[in-house]
Amino acid sequence: MDIDAGHYTGHENLELMSDSHRFNDWMYEEISSSLYGDILEIGSGIGTFSEKLTRDFPNSNLTFTDISSMYVELLKKKFSSNGSVVVYRLDINERIDYERIGYKKFDSILAVNVLEHVENDEFAFAQLYDMLKEKGTIIVLVPCHKFLYNIIDKNIGHYRRYTKKELEYKVRKTGFVIDKTFYFNTVGMIGWYLNGNLFKKPKVSRTGVKILDSVVPVLKYTERIFGKRIGLSIICTVKKKK
C-alpha cells in the first residue's frame, strides 16, 4: 500500500527533529565517519542527513530512499540539480523495491531510525546485506531499551525497541561482522521516559526537543568523559564478510 506523508505516522516528529540543528549535527558526527564510496540512505525523509551527505561526499554516487511517496517527490525536487543523486521509493518490507534499486551496488548504507518500523527486520537486514559490495559497511541507528517502549513508540509505528544483545544477534545471523556498537543520547532517555512512560503523552515534546538541542555541547562533553554506556539509541557499524 502506498504511503504519503499525510498518513506516515512519524512525519510530525521527523519534521520537528529536522529543526534540531545541533542535535542532528551531533548525530551525524557519530555515524558519518564510517561512510565511504557509493552510499545508500534508507529512510531519507525530508533530507536532513541527505543534505549533509551531498556536502561531504561530492565524489560519491548517492541514492536516497523513503517509503513515503510525498517525501520521494520532495527529495527528487530538492536534489534535481545534483547529477550524483538518484531517489527511489523503498518499502523495506518489499523485495521488488530492493530489486529495482539493485544489489551489490553500494560501499556503505546508512539506516537511521528505520528498522524499528519493520515487523520482519531480519528480512530487511538480509536484503541490505545483498545490496552491499564486497566488504561493504552498514551504519544502523535504532531506539533501544525495552522498558522505554511506550505510547510514543506505538504512535510513530515502532514494532520494537532493541537491546544491544538483540541487535548484535540479528546482524551476526545475517552474516555481518560487527565493527563497533555504542549507545547514543543518554539524557534523551529522561525526556522519553517522562513524556511517554510516566505522563502518557503520545508525541515528542516540542519544548523538550528545543531544550535538548540547546544543551548538545554539554551532552557531547558528558558522553566523552563518562563513555557511551547507556542511551536512548544504539549505533552499530557492521561489515559484509565478502
Task: In whole angstroms, give the CA distance from residue 1 to residue 24.
Answer: 30
Closest CA to 30 of 197, 182, 242: 182
Higher pLDDT, 209 or 28: 28
Confidence of residue 11 (pLDDT cuts 50, 70, 90): low
Residue range 11-40: average pLDDT? 89
For residue 240, the cross-strand partners are: 176
| pLDDT at 1 exceeding the cut of 60 | no
Q: The domain at 11-146+158-186+228-240 falls in which architecture? A: 3-Layer(aba) Sandwich (3.40)
Whose cell is 540547546? That residue is 214
Cα 192 to chain center, whole Å?
Answer: 18
Q: What is the bridge-based pairing of β-strands 233-240 and 176-184?
A: antiparallel
Burial group, residue 139, by CB count within 10 angstroms (0-12, 13-18, 19+) = buried
Burial group, residue 92, by CB count within 10 angstroms (0-12, 13-18, 19+) = buried
Residue type at 195 in one-letter notation: N
Task: In whole angstroms, give the CA distance from residue 130 to residue 113.
Answer: 20
Task: In whole angstroms, give the CA distance from residue 65 to residue 102.
Answer: 13
Confidence of residue 6 (pLDDT cuts 50, 70, 90): very low
Q: Which helix (H) or strand (E) holds 69?
A: helix 69-78
The phi, psi pair for 104, rounded to 5°, reads 55, 40
Q: What is the bridge-based pairing of β-strands 132-143 and 233-240?
A: antiparallel
Residues written for the chain: 242
Higher pLDDT, 199 or 1: 199
141-197 pLDDT tens trace: 999 999 999 999 999 999 999 999 999 999 999 999 999 999 999 999 999 999 999
Contact (Cβ atoms closer than 8 angstroms) between residue 144 and residue 113: no
